Structure 1
Amino acid sequence: MNLYLDSHTIIIALGIGYLVAFVLASSYWLDRSNLASINSYFVAKCLQIISWFCMALRGDTIPDFLSISFANSILLIGTSLEMVALLNLHKPIRLKIKKMYARLTACGIVGFQLLLLLHNNEDMRIAYITFVTAAILMPAYRLVLDRAATVLMRVTGSLYLLAMLAFMLRGIIALRFAETASFFIPGIFQLISLLGIFLLTVLGSTAFVLLLKEKTNQELVHLASYDDLTGTLNRRTFSIHAKLALAHYAKKGKPVSYLLFDIDWFKTINDTHGHHVGDLVLQDLASRIKRNLGNEDLFTRYGGDEFGLMLPGKNEAESTELAERIKQSLRGSFGEAPPVPYTISMGVLTVVPNKFTQLETLYTTCDQALYAAKSNGRDGLSRNRSEQFPHQTRGNHELFTSK
């Protein structure tokens, strides 16, 4: 049975495949068209569609300039934009990377035009284009090797790396078996190659849409979990993680420290300099504190200028050291001065939790220490210990035990 297909027919089918993928993605993400990665991806698909249809009309229909020179040039641009969009979905790429892609694409196009002028041989054209395309796809390895990448991102990256290897193989075949590598010569290579590109188009477009959906879900989770001004955990999310930490360290029998603090005379800052400066102060404070925290430390903004820290595993000495380091960091510049000078008052508590320890009790107790720090002149630290206030119990068990 002859499975070979007319080259023009199958290339047109590829163009239709790109068109369908483009229409589906466009309609699904029409309301998100402001995203740079989506715009890049859509432009890439438009260029690839034009390229494949130009190739399909090669021969008497259109001149070789359009079907070879123009088609391959915009195909390189489209592939480059697609990779930029994909990498930008994973992690916002720097301007340096974008310039690198622009230079690589420009050099690839110029080199191809020179090849057409000086040595217009089909096998050399095929080898050149496939090797340049493979170079453009190579950064997909970042999606696979990045430890922070999701499973979907790793699978997508692997798909593009597989395509890169396929392009390199085609280039090698073109150099050694000239006629075999052409899409326009019927044969098993033509069938496998074109169908492979068709599947890659469909799978790649599907993966990109799924990645967009995944990124949107991550953004929604972030918006639901973090304070939009300071980037700290919001009260609800902090409460969930803090209670889990208390339960975990209760089983381990290890200490947990809790800090409650706010900005001294914050209302005066707002009244004197305006609420915009007040917001800058809150952001500056959060930024400086984050530099001092470990991976397990929990940082929340309760509201206004009131913040909380839970330090799982840190005893009195360690929590006091961190509190002093935080206070000292507010006096340093870290390369940039705060919007206006400010200080904070802190209440600190360290407990060895048990199964009856309540986060609300820790908050109330720490708030008493914070009030004491303010009564002592502000810009200071006050520690509350269990012996300094009545024990709260449930049955015969203390709610918490001091270190």
Structure 2
Amino acid sequence: MSLLLLDIKTVITLLAIGNICVFILISAYSYQYKNRTIWTFVLGKLLQIIAFIIMLLREILPFTLSIFLSNTLLLIGTMIECIALLILLKSLTANVRKAIIIVTLIGLFSFYSAILFYNFENVRIAIVSITIILLVAFPVRAFYRNCKTSILQCIMLILYSAIALSLLLRTYNALVISTDVTLFAENEYQTLAFLTRFIEMLVGSIGFILLVKEQTDVELTRMAMIDELTNIYNRRAFIQRADALIAIELKKKSPLSFIIFDIDRFKGINDTYGHDVGDYILKEIAKVISNVLPKGAIFGRYGGDEFVVLVPNCNSAKAIQLAETLRVTVLQHPFQHISTACTLSLGIATTEATSTISLDRLYTNADKALYQSKENGRNQVHAIRL
């Protein structure tokens, strides 16, 4: 006897019980954290639970009613589960939402048409299987895009791809091999399809919660490293990245340049136009500077209106040229809400990467150069070579 010949009623019963357990556990988790994405996933699972229970009651309920309800709830529940995954992966655009709803509606329309005009079980099985395959394709595509950055998402990609493949084999069996197949028929294709759904119920639900945690961890890391106002590195993150870069450049013996700048008379801007305009100026400067910095440069906000840049493999001449580019870029930028030009004063410290170089030393000397720029009248660049 083949190991894949299992009692389908037993497998569906396990699916229903397993999904109930998943529903209870994830509901308790989502109640604590008030996450709407998790509640969407829970709703999808709830509809699938009801669908599997109705399948088991097919011999008790009116036949047509049980077929209609179970498959309708199964397709809608699967759609909602896929939507929850797409929301979590930040892949649910308006067009994707529209497409996934259209796929579900076409699947339901085809299924109802089959019940009315061509009511053969193998056709109904094929329609439902194909619809689920198309629905699952949406998160599979999203997992594939993110696979390189997350091992967990690679596992989810394999899992949902396996579901699609097993349903494809089930469709082939229903339409080609065993055209008289029924829901509870015992064959390898049927068992494989339901076993895959059972594995998805276990691993997929755990994977979903782990994905939620992964996304939360990423956001917490981002919040710990990124300045909330300007969306560039904060002081702590800049120091960590800069120390690591200095260590790398130390091995190469290549020149390093540290640029520090602040906004001329920024306090006057705040006093004249208000702190909202001051915040706008900070954000806008961070954005325009980010666009002109060379690849590999580290850019951060040290505090207030003070910004710092560490540029690897950059000698004094290149650093002065870059600083002038930054100064002119800001000078020529059309800032809103203020009637005067916005200018920068910049200080540069350049050195060969040696064991005596530290970020503190670079900062101290660049700050001296910045002070000299301000003493000389602002809106200019001053450099110190160590």
Superposition deviation, residue 30 in structure 1: 2.7
Q: Deviation at 1:293?
A: 3.1
Taking a change above 3 Å as real, the CA distance of residues 19 and 293 of structure 1, as seen in their structure-2 partners, is farther
Alignment of 1:3-402 (within 5 A): 7-35=8-36, 37-65=37-65, 67-139=66-138, 140-146=140-146, 148-178=148-178, 181-331=181-331, 338-340=336-338, 342-386=342-386
Contact 1:58/1:64 (CA < 8 Å) preserved in 2? no
* SS of residue matched to 2:149: coil
The alpha carbon displacement at 1:7 in A equals 4.4
Residue-pair matches, total: 382
**TM norm structure 2:** 0.90
Whether the 8 Å contact between 2:27 and 2:39 is mirrored in structure 1 is: no
Q: Deviations over 1:102-146 (max 9, x none)?
A: 222222222222222221211111111111211111231332344
Amino acid in structure 2 at the alignment position of 1:178: S
**Counterpart contact for 2:147–2:153, Cα < 8 Å:** no
Question: Retained in 1: the 8 A contact 2:8–2:191?
Answer: no
Distance in 1 of aligned mates of 2:259 and 2:285: 15
CA contact (8 A) 2:263 2:345 kept: yes
**What are the ranges of 5 or more consecutive residues in structure 1 without an aligned counterpart?**
387-403
Shift of 1:308: 0.6
> How far apart are residue 214 of structure 1 and its match?
1.5
Maintained 8 Å contact 2:348/2:366:
yes
Identity of matched residues, %? 35
Q: Which amino acid in 2 is paired with 1:103? A: I
- CA-CA distance at 1:58 after TM superposition: 1.4
Q: CA deviation at 1:32?
A: 2.6
Higher helix share: 2
The offset of 1:196, in angstroms, is 2.8
1: CA distance, partners of 2:135 / 2:315: 52
Secondary structure at the residue paired with 2:293? coil
RMSD: 2.4
Pair 295,15 (structure 1): closer, same or farther in 2 beyond 3 Å: farther
| Deviation of the 1:89 alpha carbon | 2.4
* Larger deviation, residues 336-345 vs 250-259: 336-345
User: Structure 2: how far apart are the matches of 1:245 and 1:105?
Assistant: 51
Structure 1 residues 348 and 339, CA gap change in structure 2 (3 angstroms): farther
Q: Amino acid of the residue matched to residue 290 of structure 1?
A: S
Structure 2 gaps, min length 5: none
User: Are the equivalent residues in 2 in contact too, given 1:12–1:52 (CA < 8 A)?
Assistant: yes
Q: Distance in 1 between matches of 2:331 and 2:107?
A: 53
Per-residue CA distance 1:37-75 (angstroms, 9 max, x = gap): 32321221122112212222213324523x222322232
Residue 100 of structure 1 aligns to a residue whose secondary structure is helix
